[in-house]
Structure 1
């Protein structure tokens, strides 16, 4: 059984004034996500969930890369 991990990160305002948010992820978390195909600059869908302070994060870019790689092999 895999144990759940929890990270608390803060969304920072982009310095370019675009209204975009920037997530600075802890190295351990980033290493796990990179192993799943995430790359710097990916656009994330963030959905707030019922528990206050929690969100579901989906990376459609990584999903598309994974599907594309599957079809090529």
Structure 2
């Protein structure tokens, strides 16, 4: 896990909780409204960035998770 990557992601997406799961070895983000609460998992910070941008631009159905 890179503390630098976490800092960059947190600055780029303010108000979006982002963390690295030490057990899962994955990056996570919880997308807040107005998109709706969405939990996203990615293997790398770059992948998480793309997933957050995609989640914010697509009206996912309630309860659905974006594809990895």
Relative contact order, higher structure (CA 8 A, sep 6+): 2
Q: Same fold (TM over 0.5)?
A: no
Larger radius of gyration: 1
TM-score (normalised: structure 2): 0.32
TM-score, normalising length: structure 1:
0.31
